[in-house]
Amino acid sequence: MPPPSYSLLFWIFLQLGCLSFGGPAAHLVFFHQRFVQQLKWLDESQYAQIVALAQLLPGPTSSQVGLAIGYLQKGYWGAVLAWLGFTLPSALFMALVAVLGHQYLDVLSSNSFHSIQLIVLAVVAWAFWQMLRSFCKTVWQYALMFASALFIYLMPLSFNQIVVILIAACLGMWMAKRTTPTATLSSANTTATDTHFTAAHLPQHRRYAAFWVVLFVAPFIVLSALNWLQPHLLYAANLSFYKAASLVFGGGHVILPLLHQDFVSTGLVSKEQFDLGYAIAQLVPGPLFSFATYLGSLIPMTESMLLNATLATLAIFLPSFFLVFATLPYWSWLMQQAYIRHAVTGINAAVVGLLLYMVLEMAQRYVLSITDLLFIVLVIGLLKSKLPVWLSLIGSFLIYTAFMHFIA
């Protein structure tokens, strides 16, 4: 089958960006239906391998699957157009929410805002439970999860979450050495191949892998150096967005602790604004990482709110491009490296610990009565059901807000 035109590629992903409700897991189902079953751009094996590679990389899983599909079809520009089509609807909507929320936040009653806070807590708790089941399967993973949460609680440092992630990666590799000491040796003789992918440009692009790795590392060094030489919110904020997307695995929910620490704990964004944006982000189709567009609109990096939103969006998605371009031509070799897989396993367990700490911290602030707790259980039950996410969240918000007005 000949590759699609650039315009058709963009249009297909724009449709998905407008209709893909339900978060990363649902996005992968939509992608499978469109690209495997309907368009037949990929077969089952190819799609499964793309999903596996996206899960191996830090950043937004569904967005990375999308741009990998665009990359396989039309090279680098195909990846850009796929990402733009899938991300544009949610990014524009979240920027609009930031503008309207900034002007009309005071209109929300205390009861309405309390309902939003409880809904955010329920969504994070549900994400924690799902990731706990997916990422913690052994005793050492559970131990690492609890140790990570305890470390964050006992060491309130500005960089404590990064320390936890790095330590978890090292522990994961140490576990790989204990459990499979010969795995890396046996894989050292493995030749990198892409026999399951037939894109003609992949063999040519292997030579650029090191270049993309350098570009991935460069923003850490450049932005840190600029902020050290001449401290400015422009450098610090973009470094925070880039760092959040570069160091955490598992999708949109797991960046929440990092963004909360960098922007709410520092006073750049209020807790009310943060919670409102995160609640709205659950209702919007497309990637949850578009929450960064909302935060960027609120952070005065420059005098232009539109420029701030654009910079934040680019900063949080840019690592995905560099990583996919560097790794997809070498996917076979990467998937056979035991140390890499175990490092990711350790990081995932630690990220679950970060979510656990955030759930407990939010519960301590938001849960004021037994009815609040029952409402959270109700919202989690609705999220677990087959009802659309937007219907579950909007319906629960209206019901509980009306209930609190009634008993007031």
pLDDT tens across 299-342, in order? Answer: 999 999 999 999 999 999 999 999 999 998 887 676 667 777 78
Residue 183 pLDDT exceeds 70 = no
Residues 6+ apart with CB under 8 A from 242: 219, 220, 223, 315, 316, 318, 319
352: nearest Cα among 205, 189, 144: 144
Residue 283 pLDDT exceeds 80 = no
Residue 393 placed within a domain: yes
Residue 204 placed within a domain: yes
Residue 142 placed within a domain: yes
Residue 386 placed within a domain: yes
Predicted pLDDT of residue 191: 40
- Whole-angstrom Cα distance, residue 244 to residue 295? 13
Residue 107 near residue 335, CB atoms below 8 Å: no
- The mean predicted confidence, pLDDT, of the chain is 84
Residue 19 placed within a domain: no
To the nearest 10°, report the CA torsion of 109, 115, 120, 122: 170
Residue 187 pLDDT exceeds 80 = no
Number of structural domains the chain divides into: 1
- Whole-angstrom Cα distance, residue 93 to residue 351? 28
Residues 6+ apart with CB under 8 A from 356: 128, 145, 146, 148, 149
Which segments of 196-290 does DSSP mark as H helices, in order?
202-205, 209-229, 233-247, 256-259, 271-283
The boundaries of the domain holding residue 331 are 93-407
Residue 360 placed within a domain: yes
- Whole-angstrom Cα distance, residue 179 to residue 402? 55
Length of the chain: 408
The b/e string for 164-178 (b: 16+ C-beta within 10 A; e otherwise) is bbbbbbebbbebbee
What's the pLDDT band for 198 if we cut at 50, 70, 90? low
- Whole-angstrom Cα distance, residue 256 to residue 355? 8
Residue 85 placed within a domain: no
What's the pLDDT band for 193 if we cut at 50, 70, 90? very low
**Model-level pTM?**
0.76
Of 80-84, 128-132, 216-220, 388-392, least confident by mean pLDDT is: 388-392
Predicted pLDDT of residue 332: 65
